[in-house]
Amino acid sequence: MLGAAIIKDTQLLLRDRARLATLFLLPVIFVAVFGSIFTSRGEEMRQLPVYHEPGDRRAAALVAALEASGAFHTTRYERAEKVRQLVAEGDVLAGLIIPPEFDPRAGKPAELAIDEGAPMQVRGPVEGAISGVLTAAYVAGPRAEEFSVLDPRTPPGLDRPLAGAGGFQHAVPGNAMLFGFFLALTVALSFGEERTSGTWRRLLAAPVSRPVVLLAKLVPWALVGLVQMAFLFGTGALAFGMQVAGSVASLCALTAAVVVCATALGLFIASMGGSEKQVGAVGSICLLVMAAVGGAMIPRQLMPETMQTISLATPHAWALEGYFDLLNRPGTTLAQVAGSIAALSGFAVVFATVGAWRFRFDR
């Protein structure tokens, strides 16, 4: 019976181009857009055009220090105007102009060409890094290149993150959660579709127990969800260079918990009743809000403290917490994401129990 339902729903799905596109194509487009925004911005932030007078050895040493810091690719231009122009045209984020009379102690700083209206998240790191390096080099004098004031170290208790993790490290799991949990809406709507097509009465009149009727509606979609997740993480890894630092088996276990949770949420939504239109409208709003609050779009780490706490009320947040560790911290094991899996399972049990209890077969 379950096998027959899986075959039937697969046949129906394969004929439904729109649904196939929303399941597989749309999330990839989202991943591509979100992932590349953060990644290419990083590259843009590294480009630093500079100007100083040709024979200015002290300025040249400062530039060499910037280059040596590894944070910037510097390019020297013949005219200060050219540097300002590059910034004004948006080709680079910032430019540096070091005058011959450069002497910060005497109140003669270098000029940083930068759009002062740019968001603080973008300006801050650039300004901070440049002023840090310049200050250090200025104090150290000619020995600038051997000089380092900071040595970044991950404290014990946190595993060291992968070097150079790009924007896709969040864009892939983030969008996988955004779209993965939309499976709940698909599941909820599919009950309505079964009723509209009249076949629900045939299912109920057949010698099949009520729990099996429910499973016959849920299991095929859970499988579709697994295929969708495999496709998204697979595409993320192969096409977008997403890296998995931890164990792949744990990634699979976490993902399975996500799919079960989303399917159970679908039963829960279906059990609330309402017309197909209401379910579609209310359901998609709720899922979007949950995804946003849960950090699927903007990483939770960027949220204020209270918001981070609130977001733990969504299964999305717990899942993303686990994915963050698995993708970014080498050596992450199943035990380290067990908390996420347990939380997702807890959500799933609550959704499924309340859903099955409230579900009305004869509506």
Interacting residues toward other proteins by CB under 8 A: 1, 3-5, 7-8, 11-12, 15-16, 197-209, 361-362
Nearer to other proteins, 152 or 198 (CB): 198
Q: Tell me the C-alpha distance between 158 and 301, whole Å.
A: 15
Closest distance of CB 355 from other proteins, Å: 20
Closest distance of CB 193 from other proteins, Å: 9
User: How many other C-beta atoms can be found within 10 angstroms of the C-beta atom of residue 197?
Assistant: 11
Which two three-digit tokens encode residue 269?
């939504």
Closest distance of CB 356 from other proteins, Å: 17
Closest distance of CB 194 from other proteins, Å: 9
Nearest-10 Cα torsion for 323, 324, 326, 331: -160
Nearer to other proteins, 90 or 198 (CB): 198
Nearer to other proteins, 119 or 207 (CB): 207
3-state DSSP call for residue 42? Answer: helix
Nearer to other proteins, 305 or 362 (CB): 362
Q: Which residue is it, tokens 């300025």? A: 59
Q: Tell me the C-alpha distance between 40 and 47, whole Å.
A: 11
Beta-carbon contacts of 344 under 8 Å, excluding residues fewer than 6 positions away, are 254, 257, 258, 260, 261, 315, 318, 319
Helical (H) or strand (E) element with 74: strand 73-76
Closest distance of CB 183 from other proteins, Å: 20
Nearer to other proteins, 7 or 230 (CB): 7
